[in-house]
Amino acid sequence: MTRHAGAAVKVSVFVGTSLDGFIARVDGALDFLPPGGGEPHGYEEFMATVDALVIGRKTYETVLAFDAWPYGTKLVCVLSTRPLAPAPAGAVVEPMSGPPAEIVARLAGRGIRHVYVDGGITIQGFLRAGLVQRLVITRVPVLVGSGIPLFGAIPHDIALRHVATRTYASGLVQSEYEVQPGPGG
């Protein structure tokens, strides 16, 4: 789990990207992703293992525009120092702020064991902090040319171990990786 303070929290990313590596258009639109997530590709099974989500404010605002709240009654921690838009009825949303290691430590202190991190800036921050153990990336067969990249600048290489790659009839290609301990990890 995390390599900080002995906490036993697993941090995972499960994300869809365009073939050219964008998780959203420049304006945050997700219109290139298959409607409703497309054919089943392990998301429901993954979500069943998750105790809490950590997302950024922009991702939260994007999700609020969906037809239905996709996270059920799971705890959703929204990283923001500003007030949040009201959550939908039945949603469990909590604002949080602080560095990724502090967020994970606070969640661990509450008994959370598996955290799903989503949103470009949030994923990048947790990767840079060395907190992500698992990446599941589903590539959608479309090139969008520009947008919000999944990965940004990193201070050093992050070694990954390939676990599996699955293909789906619609053209989705999903690869799963374990993040390997780095220097000092």
Higher pLDDT, 14 or 5: 14
Contact by Cβ (8 Å): 183, 52: no
Contact by Cβ (8 Å): 17, 40: no
The secondary structure of the chain as a DSSP string is: --SSTT---EEEEEEEEETTSEEE-TT---TTSPGGGSS--SHHHHHTT-SEEEEEHHHHHHHHTSSS-TTTTSEEEEE-SSPPPPPPTT-EEEEE-S-HHHHHHHHHHTT--EEEEESHHHHHHHHHTT---EEEEEEES---SSSEES----SS---EEEEEEEE-TTS-EEEEEEEPP-TT-
Residue 28 and residue 24: Cα distance in Å, rounded? 5
Residue 180 and residue 185: Cα distance in Å, rounded? 9
Residue spans per domain, the chain: 10-179
- Give the whole-number percent of the chain exceeding pLDDT 70: 94
Residue 108 and residue 112: Cα distance in Å, rounded? 5
Question: Is the pLDDT at 3 greater than 60, yes or no?
Answer: no
- Each residue's pLDDT tens digit, 129-162: 999 999 999 999 999 999 999 998 888 899 999 9
Instruction: Find all residues with CB under 8 Å of 102, minimum gap 6, and list them.
Output: none
- Residues 76-98 have a mean pLDDT of 95
What is the pLDDT, as a whole number, of residue 183?
Answer: 58
Tokens describing residue 102: 């502090």
Question: Is the pLDDT at 7 greater than 70, yes or no?
Answer: no
Higher pLDDT, 38 or 15: 15
- Each residue's pLDDT tens digit, 161-185: 999 999 999 999 999 999 998 654 4
pTM of the model: 0.90
Q: Can you name the CATH fold of 10-179?
A: Dihydrofolate Reductase, subunit A (3.40.430)
Tokens describing residue 153: 């600048």
Higher pLDDT, 85 or 34: 85
- Each residue's pLDDT tens digit, 20-35: 999 999 988 888 988 7
- Give the whole-number percent of the chain exceeding pLDDT 90: 77
Contact by Cβ (8 Å): 168, 41: yes
